[in-house]
Amino acid sequence: MDGAQQRTHTRSDAVRSRVALTDAVERLLREGRVDFSIPELASEAGLGVATAYRHFPAPSDALHAYYARAAGELVEALRDIDVDLDPVRRFETHCREWIAQAQTWGPAVRHIRSHEGFIERLDNGDPSIVALYSALDAVLQALVDAGHMPAGDRRVAVLLWITIFDERVVYDLEHHHGWTAEQIVEHLGRAARGALRIT
């Protein structure tokens, strides 16, 4: 194996290790094990402790990486929605996809909510929040442009939408209230449309 192949192999191993560790974070969080140590994370991932420390010097780093991955998956799914849909249909499709995503990672993410507010994190340039805001703001702008929503402070409008679709709400309605995904989409979508005055 020459030097270039060795570097590629090493990078591939590093990527696989990071994915394994981030997957392990999700499993630990789903079990409610928020205060795990790096050795516990390494054991859950089936990796050596030194490898885990190379990726995540502290548990908070692992938690941040998991949150960023979940937020990134949501943003990617929302960006895949056809921008040429009727604005109201586009909004509804975003709501439906958001619930589908939240059902996947919400049971884990609900344990690691930031103590900072959404607008605070947006102003501070948090990459995950900036990307999510950008995706949602474009949907609301299309609604405003089409006359389906009043113009106003869209930072607040996005905040309201995010608050209604909080993964803890989705988790609670699914796991403790017994609602189906369709019921959750219908009720939260109606609440968001009312809060945002979408017609």
Q: Contact at 8 Å (CB) between 97 and 78?
A: yes
Query: What's the average model confidence in pLDDT over 105-122?
Result: 91
Query: What's the average model confidence in pLDDT over 17-24?
Result: 97
Query: What's the average model confidence in pLDDT over 132-151?
Result: 97
CA distance 36 to 112: 12
3-state secondary structure 143-165: HHHCCCCCCCCHHHHHHHHHHHC
SS3 content of the chain, % helix, strand, coil (to 5): 75, 0, 25
CA distance 131 to 122: 9
User: Has residue 9 got a pLDDT over 50?
Assistant: no
Task: Give the model confidence (pLDDT) of 178-192 as tens digits.
Answer: 999 999 999 999 999
pLDDT the model gives residue 120: 96
User: Has residue 140 got a pLDDT over 50?
Assistant: yes
113 confidence band (pLDDT: 50, 70, 90): confident
pLDDT the model gives residue 115: 86
149 confidence band (pLDDT: 50, 70, 90): very high
Query: What's the average model confidence in pLDDT over 62-78?
Result: 94
Task: Give percent of the chain with pLDDT exceeding 90.
Answer: 90
Query: What's the average model confidence in pLDDT over 144-150?
Result: 98
pLDDT the model gives residue 2: 55
114 confidence band (pLDDT: 50, 70, 90): confident
Backbone angles phi, psi at 32, to 5 degrees: 80, 15
Q: Residue written as tokens 């630990």? A: 28
